Amino acid sequence: MNKERVFSGIQPSGSITIGNYIGALSNFKEFQDDFDCLYCIVDMHSLSNEQKPSELRKNTLDLLALYLAAGLNPEKSTVFIQSHVPAHAELQWVLNSVVSVGHLERMTQYKDKAQKQSGSIPATLLNYPILMAADILLYQAKYVPVGEDQKQHIEITRDIAERFNYRYSDTFVLPEIILSKSGKRIMSLQDPTVKMSKSDENPNGSIRLLDSPDDVRRKLKRAVTDSLGNFDYNDEQLGLKNLIDIYSAFTKETVEDIVNFYKDLGYGRFKSDLGEIIAEEVRDIQVEYNNYISDKAQLEKIYREGAEKASYMAEKTLRKVYKKVGFVAR
C-alpha cells in the first residue's frame, strides 16, 4: 500500500534555534515509519533575505548534519537540498499564474519582513509563499509538520492547489498542517512578545542548537521573566510562560506538573534546571552533528541520493502540470 506523504523544510538562513527544533525538527523523525517523508533544506527560500554566499553554503551543510543528528534516517526519509531539484522553481513559475499580487501583499510574514527591510524589498520576499506551495504540491504531500507561524502559508498553499485543480482539473492533493504537541510557538528569551527566530540580531534572544552548553546556561540566566515572584503559567507572565513551554517541550512533562514542582522553589532554581536540561540535549545533538559534519563525502552521498529520489517524484507532478497548462511535450 502506498504511504501518505509528509513534506517539511527549514531555511538555512542562519544557525537554527531551539524554536525551530521544538516547533519543527524534533518532530520530523516521528513520521518516518508510517509515512513517505521528504525533508528538505530550503536554500532557495533563504534568498528572500540577504545572505553571504559562504555562510549560506555553510549553513546548508550544517542544517543537513543537524537533520541527521536529530534522527532523520536517509534510508527511511528523502533528505535533500531544494536547489538540487529544479522542479521546485519550475512549478513555482506556473503557480505564479493562479495567485494575485494582492493576496501575497496581505500575507503576515510578508508584511512583517517587508517592514523590517532597510533597503528595497526583494521580489523573493513577496513570492516566498508560492515557492513554498510548489515545495509541498510537487510531492502531493498530505501532511506538513511546521510551527504555528506557518499556518497562513499552508492555507495559501491549499488555496493555490484548489484554484489550479478548479482551473485545470484535479491535480494536487490538498495538504494539512501538523503542529507539534508542545511548543508550537517559542518566543524570544529577551522579548516574550516576539517569536524566537534564527535571524534575530540579539544573540541573547535565542538559543541555537550549536551553542555551547555554557552559552545555553548563560542565556537562560539572562532570560526575561518578571518581578511578580509567583510561579504560575498565565498571560500576565509571558516570559515565564515561554520558559515553562520550553521546559515542557524538552521533558514532556505537563505544564501543571512543572508549576506544582517549582511553585516553592522559585525562578532561579527553575531557570538553572532548565539550563541544564537544554545544555544536555544540545550536547547530545552536537556529538552526532560533529560526526556527520566531519564526513563531507558521506554528506555529499546523502544529499545526492536524496535529490535523485526527490527529482523522480517531482518530475512526475511537473510533467502532469505542464501538460495540463498546455505546454508542448518535449
- Report the catalytic residues: 113, 195, 198
**Distance of alpha carbon 102 from alpha carbon 82, whole angstroms:** 27
Interface pick for ligand LTN out of 15, 17, 127, 150 (rule CB under 6 A): 150
Q: Which of 16, 68, 98, 144 binds ligand LTN (CB under 6 A)?
A: 144
Q: Write down the least CB distance from residue 7 to ligand LTN, Å.
A: 5
CB of 132 to ligand LTN, least distance (A): 4
| Closest distance of CB 197 from ligand ATP, Å | 4
Q: Which stretch binds ligand LTN (CB under 6 A): 4-12, 241-249, 280-288, 301-309?
A: 4-12
Task: Please report whether residue 77 would count as binding ligand LTN according to CB under 6 A.
Answer: no
Which amino acid is residue 253, in one-letter code?
Answer: E
Note whether 153 binds ligand LTN by CB under 6 A: yes
Beta strands in the chain (DSSP E): 5-10, 36-41, 78-81, 143-145, 176-178
Rg (CA), the chain: 21
Task: Show the site string, 108-137: x = touches ligand LTN by CB under 6 A, - = not.
Answer: ------------------------x--xx-
- The pair phi, psi for residue 6, each rounded to 5°, is -120, 135
Helices (H), 139-265: 151-168, 213-222, 238-251, 255-262
- Among the listed residues 21, 25, 22, the one whose alpha carbon sits nearest the alpha carbon of residue 8: 25
Q: At which residue does the C-alpha cell 517524484 appear?
A: 313
Helix count (H) and strand count (E) of the chain? 13, 5
Contact set for ligand ATP, span 14-33 (CB under 6 A): 14, 17, 19-20, 22-24
Residue 198 in contact with ligand ATP, rule: CB under 6 A: yes
Question: What residues make contact with ligand ATP under the rule CB under 6 A?
Answer: 10-11, 13-14, 17, 19-20, 22-24, 146-147, 149-150, 183, 185-186, 195-199
